[in-house]
């Protein structure tokens, strides 16, 4: 790379930088994928599926050990974090967290591998995530392309959620499901863990990642209060989790307050972890507070 091409024209640490020749370098390279299959520690099985042959978008399905062949379990549609530009359902971090969730909550998880920006500029990730819901809905008659969902997923008890940017995407997918409801899918709850709804530190990066966003508070993807379709969100309850030391905390609290104001007291629940930072539970899953957060999500599934 010559000196001209090696000039950095955009720099968004800790995510990525862009060189003059168009090359993109991520500060934290993606970890290699972990093969799907049986997790001997939890008994959770996983497999990878193609959600859209046209776009080659995939997902990883996690399912607990099922003793009754006719048993139907709630379904959690998960969107991973990573600033819209990093992350995957196929890595070790996602596997550990989601396997623990599947084991404790006795749910099926479909974790969507939406296409990443900036190679695939937003709103492509949002489009992929909504398309995944319609793919899941194609199993409502028991004749969809994936046997695990046909046989064991209760599509009358569907939850959406994710962490950080994934929570942002989950919120958007939920609102769009209210606008254009996938037939046969009943969304009962939304799990928002340390949600990313912008802020001065990242608005410029988001605007760079997006082909349509102003990167400001008038963008409903960054500010749900500005979304005229917000009231159409179909789920019956929302869990909003924030962390005391997370710079995104106040935006998460504001999101909770917006929902309470719009939908009424009790529609949303706020859970704060004191003394912790953004997505701490993914990087220290054995910590006591990570266990408390996981249990909160499990309880939300069981009580919704």
Distance CA 186, CA 179 (A): 13
Which residue, 118, 122, 51, is CA-closest to 86? 118
What distance in Å separates the CA atoms of residue 301 and residue 299, rounded to the nearest whole number?
Answer: 5
The count of other CB atoms within 10 Å of the CB of residue 284 is 11
Q: CA nearest 178: which of 165, 193, 163, 188?
A: 188
What is the Cα–Cα distance from 59 to 48, expressed in whole angstroms? Answer: 6
Could you say which of 78, 210, 246, 304 is catalytic? 246
Q: Confirm whether 80 is a catalytic residue.
A: no
Q: How many CA within 13 A on the CB side of residue 205?
A: 21
| CA end-to-end distance (rounded Å), the chain | 55
DSSP-derived 3-state class of residue 236: coil
**CB-count exposure of residue 91 (10 Å: 0-12, 13-18, 19+):** middle
Q: Which of 99, 100, 138, 164 is catalytic?
A: 164
Q: Which of 113, 129, 278, 304 is catalytic?
A: 278
Quick check: bond before 111 cis, omega within 30? no
Measured distance CA(160)–CA(235) in Å, rounded: 9
278 catalytic per annotation: yes
Cβ neighbours, 10 Å, residue 229: 13
Active site residues: 164, 246, 278
């Amino acid at each position: 790379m010559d000196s001209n091409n090696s000039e950095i024209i955009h720099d968004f640490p800790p995510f990525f930088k862009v060189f003059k020749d168009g090359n993109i370098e991520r500060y934290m390279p993606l970890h290699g994928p972990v093969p799907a299959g049986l997790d001997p520690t939890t008994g959770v099985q996983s497999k990878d599926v193609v959600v859209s042959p046209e776009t080659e978008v995939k997902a990883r399905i996690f399912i607990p050990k099922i003793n009754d062949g006719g048993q139907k379990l709630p379904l959690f549609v998960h969107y991973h974090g990573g600033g819209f530009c990093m992350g995957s359902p196929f890595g070790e971090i996602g596997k550990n967290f989601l396997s623990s969730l599947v084991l404790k909550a006795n749910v099926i998880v479909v974790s969507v591998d939406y296409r990443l920006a900036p190679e695939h500029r937003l709103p492509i990730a949002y489009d992929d995530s909504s398309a995944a819901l319609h793919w899941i809905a194609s199993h409502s008659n028991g004749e969809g392309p994936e046997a695990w969902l046909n046989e064991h997923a209760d599509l009358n008890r569907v939850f959406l959620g994710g962490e950080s940017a994934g929570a942002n995407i989950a919120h958007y997918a939920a609102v769009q499901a209210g606008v254009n409801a996938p037939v046969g899918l009943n969304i009962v709850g939304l799990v928002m863990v340390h949600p990313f709804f912008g802020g001065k530190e990242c608005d410029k990066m988001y605007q760079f990642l997006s082909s349509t966003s102003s990167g400001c508070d008038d963008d409903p993807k960054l500010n749900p209060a500005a979304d005229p379709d917000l009231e159409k969100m179909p789920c019956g309850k929302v869990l909003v989790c924030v962390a005391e030391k997370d710079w995104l905390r106040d935006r998460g609290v504001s999101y909770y307050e917006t929902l309470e104001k719009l939908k009424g007291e009790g529609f949303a629940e706020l859970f704060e972890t004191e003394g912790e930072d953004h997505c701490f539970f993914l990087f220290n899953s054995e910590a006591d507070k990570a266990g408390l957060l996981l249990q909160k999500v499990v309880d939300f599934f069981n009580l919704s």
